[in-house]
Structure 1
């Protein structure tokens, strides 16, 4: 027995609904009535799935579900271990390995995909790090496309003679 994320099932169901819906519209049925019927059926199906679903919280149950979904018991155990370590509010990222090992790495705090934007920001060339003492920190979920957007802030930081760490979606 195989299991997955339901993508194939959803695609097959969508294709069948479209095919049958078009068949009925071609035969003269009102498309709005068909649409309302499909929406009603979707609501009923979602409600039934919610009724029969159960919360999976203990490590053994999580491992069982993950093992079936991944079709691999070792991966299922690692996922359960990861979920136990990070908790409900944690983030789990799965990446393809360059080698043959399957491993779990837990990172405390936050992890960024990129580091400093320019090699000119490096302060410790031996470790290739940008080490800053008591910096101001600006965190934004926006893209900074023009320095004019943050110019007043930059001017105040320069007046204080303190470093600034910028964490942004993109610069």
Structure 2
């Protein structure tokens, strides 16, 4: 199978659409009036959750370019969380009075 290439505005629109699909799935769970989302698994019973991380993990889009956008957001969020977790002990240590 040959590679499908997209450039410029068309590529950006597809990636942005994937980001927006992921954001739309997660944003309904945010805030004091956050709602639940039903996740349909390939095996087992459906899961009802309002956990944004669980929802984001389950998002797989049919369009490969939109899926790339969603996967990029998940990757950035994961790396940012790891960076914050790794930085926190150093900050606590440096703020400790001696």
Q: Same fold (TM over 0.5)?
A: no
**Higher share in helix:** 2
Structure possessing the higher radius of gyration over alpha carbons: 1
Q: Report the TM-score when normalising by structure 1.
A: 0.19
Relative contact order (alpha carbons < 8 A, sep ≥ 6): 1 or 2 greater?
Answer: 2
